[in-house]
A = this chain, B = another copy of it.
Amino acid sequence: MASEGATDGSLPRRQPVQKRSRERLRKILDVAAARIARNGSDQLRMSDVAEGAGISIGSLYQYFPDKSAIVRALAEHYNAQSRQCIEETLRDVATPAQLEVAYVDLLDQYFAMVRDEPVIRDIWSATQTDKQLMSLELTESRLCAALLADAMARAHGQNAKKYESTAFMIWQLGEAVVRLATSVDASESKAILEGFKRMTAREILRM
């Protein structure tokens, strides 16, 4: 899944070499994601994950040093997935009009993703209590914001440096607004997203 070449040496405690082991690593993450989707990451029980994956507690701890490492591995998985989507959407932006289309598209996609994958919301809430996860997500967010700043720079024929701060703020606000939109009913969430698009698109299109 994710974390095959983890930058942080601590994520999977053991680099699995045997086939059975690799399958179990995947199974652990699948089970954990399902459990988190059902009950939230704070209700995740190591014993439950072990049972669901068909292994013993001790074995589970050979794959992950502690519970939070499982959540971090899932976070890296979703990050990799969505970053790829972001890169594709922004790659060919070269004019203000394309920038606006891509930006609105990105927001809609992100909203749909968070709405349909409850695990993402739980990972985000775990961010509040796990400092490693928090910095992992902040790094990811800066990376995505940089992609947006690059696209803005190309659209306006300016230096990306100029847009860094704005792009970062808007990216963070976008995450916040999507979380908000997924926690209210459908009609209000539509109004909120549209209002946000209008407000930020204007900002992004300023040279």
Question: Which residues of A are at the interface with B, using a C-beta cutoff of 8 A?
Answer: 40, 42, 124-126, 128-129, 138, 165-166, 168-169, 172-173, 176-177, 180, 183, 188, 191-192, 195-196, 199-200, 202-203
Contact = CB atoms under 8 A, between A and B. Distances in A.
13 contacts: A40-B129, A125-B128, A128-B128, A165-B188, A165-B192, A165-B195, A169-B195, A172-B176, A172-B180, A173-B173, A173-B176, A176-B176, A202-B202
A172 B174 CA distance: 12
A91 B199 CA distance: 26
Given A129-B42, A199-B199, A199-B200, A165 B191 contact: yes
Closest 4 CB pairs of A and B: A125-B128, A176-B176, A165-B191, A169-B192
B180 A169 contact: yes
Copies per complex?
2
Determine chain A's interface SS by DSSP, over half rule.
helix
A169 B177 contact: yes
Contacts of A124: 128
A191 B172 CA distance: 14
Contacts of A128: 124-126, 128-129
Contact of A166 (B129, B180, B195, B200): B195
